[in-house]
Amino acid sequence: MVRSLSRRSFLGTASSVPFLFGQLPTSPSAPGTSFPAQDPEVVREVVGASHGNLARVKELVTARPALARASWDWGYGDWETAIDAASHVGNRPIAEFLIAHGARPTVFTAAMMGQLALVKQWIDAVPGVQRMRGPHGITMVAHARAGGPDAAEVLKYLEALGDADPRYTDVPLTEAERAAILGDYAFGSGATERLKVAKNTRGILTIARTGGSERNLFHQGGLIFNPAGGEAVRIRFDVTDGRARGLTIEDGPVVTRAQRA
């Protein structure tokens, strides 16, 4: 029995998946901008489709088999392969199709597919691997849960370990703190060089670049946040007199500053 999560369902677990910084994806009509690399827009499409559109995945991968191994950076270094996408939403048919065409399954794939012996061997060989998060910060337990009845024994085993479902720190915010940082921020003069900090329909703080989708924010304390899937990234707000004047995004040596627009 296959239990697949919808795109909307898995977004509630971690984040949506926008492009955030760097050059925007190029059009499929202009392959010269990325040649000999595969067209970024096609790569993004196959990874996106691998969350639930088997027909489109088959169409794309049958035409270009290397797309079965395609990987996309949704922002802040949150890389996701096509099989990663199928794995964390519990879409076994897509995962099986991708594997048959050369995709590289991971321990998260094994957890979703209910391969208990393989998951145990992996954890024995790499102690602590169960504490690692997959794309968008989705845990190994969440992958097993997405696998439904076929992965019930894996889920039971992982839950018994006690540390295979690590959650991000998310310190509660006061309403005043939340209100202070909501709004638009510009990090350049271009039309898409804007970031919007908002509260989604579930009451969760998000950040999104103009033209992109939301990514959940997790509060580390002191108005410092990390985005889902970007554990090493820090987003800091400069608040004066109850209102954020700007924000700074730190990704190792790369620092981006944005002023309230």
pLDDT tens digits for range 173-187: 999 999 999 999 999
What pTM does this model have? 0.84
Residue 76 placed within a domain:
yes
26 lies in a domain? yes
Question: Residue 151 belongs to what domain range?
Answer: 7-161
Structural domain includes residue 126: yes
Does 140 share its domain with 77? yes
Residue 4 φ then ψ, to 5°: -105, 135
- Identify whether 166 is part of a domain: no
- Identify whether residues 139 and 192 lie together within a single domain: no
Indicate whether 155 and 47 sit together in one domain.
yes
| 235 domain residue, yes or no | yes
Supply the pLDDT for residue 31.
Answer: 52
Structure tokens at 6: 């919808």
The answer on 121 and 22 residing in a single domain is yes
Digit-coded pLDDT (tens) for 202-225 = 999 999 999 877 889 999 999 999
The three-state secondary structure class of 246 is strand
Average per-residue pLDDT for the chain: 89
Six-digit token string for 185 = 């921020």
Contact call for residues 140 and 151 (beta carbons, < 8 A) = no
Contacts of 190 (CB under 8 A, 6+ apart): none
Type of residue at 54: L
Q: What is the mean pLDDT of residues 108-135?
A: 97
Flag whether 130 is in a domain: yes
Residue 142 CA to its chain's centroid (Å): 13
Looking at the fold, whether 143 and 14 belong to one and the same domain comes out as yes
Lowest mean pLDDT among 35-39, 67-71, 257-261: 35-39
Q: Indicate if the pLDDT at residue 25 is higher than 90.
A: no
Query: What phi and psi values does residue 216 have, to the nearest 5 degrees?
Result: -65, 145
Residue 252 DSSP code: T
Q: Classify residue 168 as exposed, middle or buried by CB count within 10 Å of its CB (0-12, 13-18, 19+).
A: middle
Kindly report, residue by residue over 137-163, the tens digit of the pLDDT.
999 999 999 999 999 999 999 999 999
% residues pLDDT > 70 (the chain): 87
Number of structural domains in the chain: 2
Shared-domain flag, residues 18 and 137: yes
183 in the same domain as 120: no
Instruction: Note whether 133 and 204 are same-domain residues.
Output: no
Residue at 52 is within a domain = yes
